[in-house]
Structures are given as structure tokens and as C-alpha cells.
A and B are shown apart, each in its own frame.
Chain A
Amino acid sequence: MNPQPAPARFSVLGQLALYALYTVAGLVAIVWLLGLAAGSTGSAVTGGAIDTGNNAITIALRTEPPQLDYGRATDSISLTVLFHTVEGLLTYDDNMALIPGVAERHEIRGDGATFWLRGDARWSNGEPVTAHDFVFAWRRVQDPATASAYAFIMYPVKNAEAINRGELPPEALGVRALGDRVLEVEFERPTPYFDKLVAFVTFYPVNEAFFQSTDGRFGASADMLLYNGPYVMNEWIHSASMRWDRNPDYWGGHKGFIDTIHVGYITQDVNARLNLFKDGQIADTQLVPQMLGEAMERRWQIDRSMDGTVFFLQLNFRDGRLTANKNFRKALLYAQDPVEFVYKALKEPSYMPAVSLFPFWIRGAEGYFRQEHPPTPHEYNVAKAREHLELARRELGLETFPPIHLLADDSPLGSISSEYYQAVYTRNLGLELRIDKQIFKQRLAKMDAGEFDIVVSGWGPDYDDALTFGDLFSSWNLNNRGRYASPEMDALVRIAQSELDPVKRMAAFGEIQDLVHEDVVIVPMYERGWSFVVDPRLKGFKRRAVGPEVDYTYARIDGRAAD
């Protein structure tokens, strides 16, 4: 053996360096191979947030749309995708007013409705959208085999509920096509708000021949849908990306100004979306309270809008519950202050303290409902609350109150809410509240079973009418999980459902609002909102309270606005 010329340590290191070199070479080869593999499972977007040259934008979605078969869709992300790509009889303009969609005009009577369809509405395969497409779609929704969770929204149509129960065949549904362009609807009961309903995805048309050709995979991928909206979805890589292109065959020139909308990213992580926005990769993003400081430092234009949902403490009216006692409920109402809760505990500037079951943006007969029928202002009065509590104690014949069961979600908001109300009721009323934190689905299960005194819950709108909130506490509504039941309420809800005169109808909602307050069916907490930031070059972007979460159908790129 020759003696080593170099120090021993060096050659060992040399050997190690050689291995490192091999490793790097191997890495490069592997990275190259993986790059080939990745190309088929995702699509890299290169244009950035705003691509002025190609008139394209890139956005991010919160989650993958779980269900684009619109007969069965229920969630707001699916609704968002569908709102851009499929159109029903009526749709919304950029001010949330109903405007014609596939139907040019319509008429609603006490016993039914007629929709006259336009001749130039086309599917993306070139076929016209006809009245038959609606008849097929609506029958399918009620067919028990479809198992549509939103079938109930169509129950105002004659025989719908019986079909859904399997008691009548789908053909018995009260909807007929008189030729290709007239759709005739028969009602189960007068439904003056039917025009608001048909803007919802469950009422969208389905081309029967195309549906049969999908062989049970309708809505499962981009080519398993037909489009008749302002955009066509040409690419959908699950959980990764989508591409919506402007639909050249769309009948109207009033929507769809951007040529291509890339959904470049799908992630629930709100920080990741903020980073993408900061990096100039997406056109808008939501801001949570922790981000507002940085947003202000960067001098961003912070926008706000309501998301439509009202949160409240729902009280349990079942026998034997403390909350079944009216004075006890009044004590709960007066002892807390939603203003303090929203501004001191939640600290979310887009949220508003709630005073009513009805959010402020609900429309009335002419203007806003709450301007026509102002709710009773909230009174934060601890002394009065204690008086009611004392009355309740005597009525119930109790020495002291047993612990109160407060049910809530395990979400961050659920935690803040339950802990805040626990503290407030302990401080102001001397009550002991036991918080029962559950995962979302288990919270619902316990609500259904009535295992709570107070539950932190919310209600969001399905359609743009006061009834979407107004019928919540009728005795037959399954979402009335506190089992509040009053003949007076039921009578008012019946008027609100069927009264054809808008002024009288809104008056009924006004009385419902007062009754909910008088009987303390709920303790209103807040109306939820969004804080968000939009790239200054993008104009006309909307966040909506009803239906889709975000709306790019009226958005356009304004190149000149860039610094």
C-alpha cells in the first residue's frame, strides 16, 4: 500500500464530496423525471394575477367544488362555479336584482307560473336550451333515486314532495313544456317568491340526451357538463386548477368581459392565499383580522361585504329545559351585548352586531325590509335581566339554577363565541354554563336530538327573499332545532309564504321579526361578513350574500389603474 499523500481526513472528505456530487447529479435527473410526471397532474399558470395582454385573470378557490351535479349541489363553492358556467330561468345582476336568464319574461300567479324562454340560449354543444330541459331537470331532482339534499326547495311545485317520498312517479310533477319555449309551472300552494327560487342551482336546466350520455358521471369532470352561462369550463384538474373561458355563444352581452379566468390554486389555507396575492399570482383574497395590520401598512384598499349568514344563540323550547321559560330567555337576551361581542371579542370589522333574525340587506316591498319594518333595538340592561332571572327562578320553583348546557362547534369562531357568552352570563347573571364543544356534524346531531339549552348556530340564505329566514321558526320547519312552536308564528309564516300582495306579505315578516324578539326565540349575535382585497386593476368584482361566494361575471380588467 502506498502511503496517502494527502492528510487522511481530506480523502475521507473527498470521498464524501464525491458522494455528494453523485447525489446532486441523481437529484437533477430525478427532478427532471418528476417534472415530466407533474406536468400531467397539474397545470402551471404563468400569467400572474392580471394578464392584461390576454385579458385573463388568475384566482384561487377555498376548496374543490364537491358537487357540480347541480341537482344535488348544496355548498357555496359549487354554487360559485355553477353561477359562472350555467344559467337558470332567471339570474342576478351586479346589484343583486333579478334579471332575465334563459327566460325572457315570466308571470307568477296564485296557482302557478309561466316562463317564456328566449330563442338564443344555447348549450355548449350547440343545442338550444328548451323548456324540456327544465322539465327533465326538475323531475330528476324530485326522483328519490337522485337523492338530492336540496329537493325541499322545489316543494312549492305541485306534487314535488309526494314524488320525493316515492308516492308518485316523477312524471306527476307540476311542470310542463308547451313547445320548446314555454314552461308552465303548477303550484302546490301560492308561491309569490317563485321567481327568486328559480335563480337557485337546483332549478337549472339539464339536457336529457347529454345527461344520459354521461352514464352516472354528470358533473364529475369538465367534459361531463354542458354549459349555457357566461363562461365555459374547459379544464378541471381535481383539487388543483380550472379554466373558465368566456362563452362565445352566451346570449347576453351584459356578462362575461374577461376572456379567461384561471382557477390556479385551490387551498383552504387563508395565509397561503394571502401569500399568493402578495406575490401577484391571484386577483383577490380574503383577509382575516390578523392580516388587517399588514394590509393597512401596505396601503391596500380593504373592501367589506356581507356573506349573508346571521349567527345567533338558538334556545331550546323542549319541555323540562330552563330555556323553555320565557323570563329566563329574556334574562339571557338583556344580559348580553352583541356590540361588545363583535367589536371587542371578534374584532372582525366586516361583521355587524345582529339585532334581528333578518339581516339588513333583505329586501322589502319597495326598499330594504328593515327600513320598512325596523326591528326593536337591542337593550343591554343587566338590572332588567336580573329581574327576569329572579322571576324565572320563582316560576320554576328553584333555589339555584342548575348548570346550563351550551353547545358549540370546535371551530375558532365557535370557541370564541361560547367562551364569551359563558363569561358574560356568569358575570351578569351568576349562571354556570358548561360548554359542549363538538365537531360540526356532531353539533348538528346533538341539535337534532335536542341535547342542549343554548346552541351557537347560524343561518344563511338560499334565495334572495325574506322567507329564507322568515319560515325558520315555523313549527314544521326541521331547521327549527329548538322546537319553538306557536300558532301565532305558524299563521304568520303561512301568510308570508302565500300572500300575493307584497306590502301585506312584508307586514307579516315584520310581525314575525317582532314575535321572534318578543318570545326570545333566539339571541342574535352577528351578521357575518368578509374583509377582502382586490387587485386595483380588476374592476366590478363582487362578493355575494346569496348564492355564489364570489362573482367575476361583471369583472373587467382596467389596465390604466395599475400604479
Chain B
Amino acid sequence: MRFTLLMWPGGGMAWYVCKRLLQGVLTVWFIATATFFAMHNVPGDPLLNDRAMTPAIRANLEARYGLDQPLLNQYLIYLGNLARGDFGISFTQENRQVNDIIREHFPVSATLGILAVVFAAAGGVLWGALTALYRNRLPDYLIMFLVILGISVPSFVVAALSQLGLVSLNNLTGRSLLPVAGWGSVYHMLAPALVLGLSTMAYLTRLMRSSMLEIIDSDFVRTARSKGVPPALIFSRHQLRNAILPVVTVLGPQIAVITTGGFVVELVFAIPGLGRFFVEAVQQLDYTVIMGTTVFYGAFLVFMVIVVDLLYGVIDPRVRLQ
């Protein structure tokens, strides 16, 4: 579906990258604008709290957050700040800059996310290739059954169950083999990363399986086989390399999705990542955090899509030739 975008036109690589980046900036501007106006139209009032405010206190708070300005002014001020890379102060964590929130919590989500993506990609490709090799035999059925489970069981169930599993494991052995929750060492990461990457792994396995099966029956594989090329070489040079293309397409955006944090996994495993801010900010109508996280996430996603498109040229020489 993306192949029309893949052609690097005569202008050459640099021109292509420039054009894509410009498109990216436009996309991010559009995301920022749409979020801004959608957010201000959500019913509810970010300043309201249990305790009613006197008009004086309310006016003081509105002035602090610039909510006393007309909406259009707020939007222009917001764009101006955005251009300078300033997302403002949070409404709920009142003396923290949204920039600080992203700067402190994104690395946590990213660290966990990278591990999850590696789990997902490595597992997905390996299991996918395996199912294709054993098509319609026991290992295929077994793995595909697990894949269906991985895709359909929601992550809060998987996360809660795996945590419960860890508790039982630790109780059984009488020692803390793996921490139940928290953050600070590699051991804290293993379980949440597996849970976080699980559905992606399952999805990639399926993708890998179907694209492998397509290629196994293709002409060039048959030709290679009839030429007597060793099966191991056919597998690695012809089948895997071709089959992995759709996986890479999916993987790019998935990296952006996973490394910006999974709300459920972070909640269950008490991980100080960015994911919880996406959900909690919306629940509490924390305008600046909603804007900050959405724009950041949007920009990251757009960037990853561009990276994937460029990577295509590396993996598949045909793209470059066009």
C-alpha cells in the first residue's frame, strides 16, 4: 500500500528526504491543531475540583494557565510555544514542565519498549518462519493457537496473570527470583517487556507466516531449488529476506507505539513511563499534558514511518531501482 511513496524520484535521495520531512511537519501541525480544538470541546473544566472555587481563586488560576484569553489567542500562543519546543506546565502536576515530564518518562518507556520490540521482532520472525516450515503440522497448529491467544487476550489480563505468576514463583521458591513490580534494573524489565511485546509478537508471527508461505511457492524459489542451491541458503537468501519486508513495514510504527509506553503494563508493574500520562491526562483534562504527549507521539510516529520508507531501499534493492 505504501509502494507509491517508496519511489525515490529523479531528484535524488536528499530531495526525497526533504519532501518527506516537510510532509511530516505538516502532519504534526495538523495533529496539534485537531487535538487542541477537540480537547477544548470535550465537556468538563480542567480547573474544577472537589472544592468549589471563589471567583477570585478561579480568576487567579485561569490567568496562570492563560485560560482567560479567547480560544483563538490561546491557540496562537500555543503554536508559538510549540515552535519553540515549549509545551507549558501541567495542570495536575502543577509545578512540572510538560517538557520535563516527557524528558524524564519517555526514556523509561523507550527502554522498556526497545526490549519489547526486540522480543516481538525476534520472536515473530522465528516463530513465523517455523510455522511456515511446518505448515499444517503439529508445531504450526500449536504456535498458531498461541498466536490467536496472544492477539485476542487483552494486555491487562496478561499483565495481571503474569504478575500473579511471578508472585507464586517467588513464594514457591522462597526467594525473589524476579521482581513483581518496580523499576531500576534489568530484572524489573523482563516480565513487563514480554507482556508489552506479546501482542506485537503474535501479530508479526502471523504476518511472517503468511508472507513466507507466499514466497515458498514463488517462481524464484522453485528456480533456486532446481538449480540445486542448498535449502539453508534458499531459506536465508531468498525466502527470509523477501518475507521480512512486510514485517519491517509494520515494525516501524509499532516501535513508536510500544516505546511511548503501554498504560496497562506501566500501571500493573509500577513503571514510571510515559504511557500512564496519555490516559490520566485525558481523564483529568490536563490540557498541556494532553497536547504535549499527543504532539510528541504524533511526531515520533511520523518520523518512524519516514525511517521505514528509507529502510525499504536498503532491504529491497528493487525499490531503489525504481
**Does A pair with B?**
yes
* A interface residues (Cβ-Cβ under 8 A, vs B): 1, 4, 8-9, 11-16, 19-20, 23, 26-27, 30-32, 34-35, 37-39, 41-45, 48, 60, 64, 66-67, 69, 72, 74, 144-152, 161, 164-166, 216-220, 237-241, 264-269, 271-272, 275-276, 278-281, 438-442, 444-445, 448, 460, 477-479, 481
Assembly CA distance A132 to B50 (angstroms) = 32
Tell me which residues from 158 to 212 in chain B have a Cβ below 8 Å from any Cβ of chain A. Answer: 160, 163-164, 166-167, 170-171, 176, 179-186, 188-190
B54 and A41 contacting across the interface, CB-CB below 8 Å? no
Shortest CB distance B234–A (Å): 8
A11 and B231 contacting across the interface, CB-CB below 8 Å? yes
Other than the known A149-B49, A281-B181, what 14 A-B pairs have Cβ atoms closer than 8 Å?
A16-B133, A45-B184, A67-B95, A239-B272, A265-B270, A266-B270, A267-B270, A269-B267, A275-B167, A442-B43, A444-B50, A445-B43, A448-B48, A478-B52
A60 and B51 contacting across the interface, CB-CB below 8 Å? no
Residue contacts A-B, CB under 8 angstroms, 14 given: A12-B133, A16-B235, A31-B190, A35-B189, A45-B184, A66-B92, A66-B93, A151-B54, A151-B57, A264-B182, A276-B181, A448-B48, A478-B54, A479-B52
B186 and A31 contacting across the interface, CB-CB below 8 Å? yes
Which of A15, A164, A280: most chain B Cβ within 10 A?
A: A15
B126 and A19 contacting across the interface, CB-CB below 8 Å? yes
Q: Which residues of A contact B269 (CB under 8 A)?
A: 267, 272
Q: Which of A147, A272, A478 contacts B163 (CB 8 A)?
A: A272
Which of A60, A72, A149: most chain B Cβ within 10 A?
A: A149
Listed stretches B14-22, B107-115, B246-254, B306-314; interface member? B107-115
With A1-B229, A219-B95 given, is the CB distance from A38 to B111 under 8 Å?
yes
Q: Which of A147, A237, A280, A444 contacts B57 (CB 8 A)?
A: A147
With A43-B184, A265-B270, A275-B167 given, is the CB distance from A37 to B94 under 8 Å?
no
B223 within 8 A of A: no
Tell me which residues from 36 to 54 in chain B have a Cβ below 8 Å from any Cβ of chain A. Answer: 43-46, 48-54
* B interface residues (Cβ-Cβ under 8 A, vs A): 43-46, 48-54, 56-57, 59-61, 63-64, 92-96, 101, 104-105, 107-108, 111, 114-115, 118-119, 122, 125-126, 129-130, 133, 160, 163-164, 166-167, 170-171, 176, 179-186, 188-190, 228-232, 235-236, 267-272, 276, 283-285
B129 and A42 contacting across the interface, CB-CB below 8 Å? no
A44 and B179 contacting across the interface, CB-CB below 8 Å? yes
Chain A residue, CB-CB nearest to B231:
A8
Assembly CA distance A102 to B46 (angstroms) = 36
Assembly CA distance A479 to B104 (angstroms) = 37
Q: Which residues of A contact B285 (CB under 8 A)?
A: 441
B60 and A16 contacting across the interface, CB-CB below 8 Å? no
Q: Which residues of A contact B229 (CB under 8 A)?
A: 1
Q: Which of B171, B190, B236 contacts A15 (CB 8 A)?
A: B236
Shortest CB distance A438–B (Å): 8
A69 and B181 contacting across the interface, CB-CB below 8 Å? no
Assembly CA distance A378 to B137 (angstroms) = 70
Q: Which residues of A contact B46 (CB under 8 A)?
A: 441
With A31-B186, A149-B57, A444-B49 given, is the CB distance from A281 to B180 under 8 Å?
yes
B126 and A267 contacting across the interface, CB-CB below 8 Å? no
Q: Which of B61, B119, B188, B232 contacts A44 (CB 8 A)?
A: B188
Q: Which residues of B contact A1 (CB under 8 A)?
A: 228-230
Q: Which residues of A contact B185 (CB under 8 A)?
A: 35, 38-39, 44
Q: Which of B48, B60, B122, B272 contacts A240 (CB 8 A)?
A: B272
Shortest CB distance B124–A (Å): 11
Which of B51, B284, B285: most chain A Cβ within 10 A?
A: B51
A147 and B52 contacting across the interface, CB-CB below 8 Å? no
Q: Which residues of A contact B270 (CB under 8 A)?
A: 60, 240, 265-267, 269, 272, 276
With A4-B230, A44-B184 given, is the CB distance from A278 to B94 under 8 Å?
no
With A42-B108, A147-B64 given, is the CB distance from A444 to B181 under 8 Å?
no
Q: Which residues of A contact B107 (CB under 8 A)?
A: 37, 41
Q: Which of A34, A144, A477, A478 contacts B189 (CB 8 A)?
A: A34
Q: Which residues of B contact A460 (CB under 8 A)?
A: 50
Chain A residue, CB-CB nearest to B164:
A275
Assembly CA distance A27 to B118 (angstroms) = 7
A445 and B45 contacting across the interface, CB-CB below 8 Å? yes
Assembly CA distance A73 to B241 (angstroms) = 58
Q: Which of B54, B95, B189 contacts A152 (CB 8 A)?
A: B54
A38 and B268 contacting across the interface, CB-CB below 8 Å? no
Q: Which residues of A contact B271 (CB under 8 A)?
A: 240
Q: Which residues of B contact A280 (CB under 8 A)?
A: 176
B186 and A32 contacting across the interface, CB-CB below 8 Å? yes
Q: Which residues of B contact A30 (CB under 8 A)?
A: 114-115, 118
Chain B residue, CB-CB nearest to A8:
B231
With A151-B57, A152-B54, A444-B48 given, is the CB distance from A239 to B105 under 8 Å?
yes
Q: Which residues of B contact A265 (CB under 8 A)?
A: 181-182, 270
B189 and A38 contacting across the interface, CB-CB below 8 Å? yes
Assembly CA distance A31 to B189 (angstroms) = 9
Shortest CB distance A34–B (Å): 5
Which 9 pairs from chain A and chain B are nearest by CB?
A: A44-B184, A478-B52, A42-B183, A240-B272, A35-B186, A42-B184, A239-B272, A441-B44, A267-B270
Q: Which residues of B contact A41 (CB under 8 A)?
A: 104, 107-108, 111, 183-184, 272
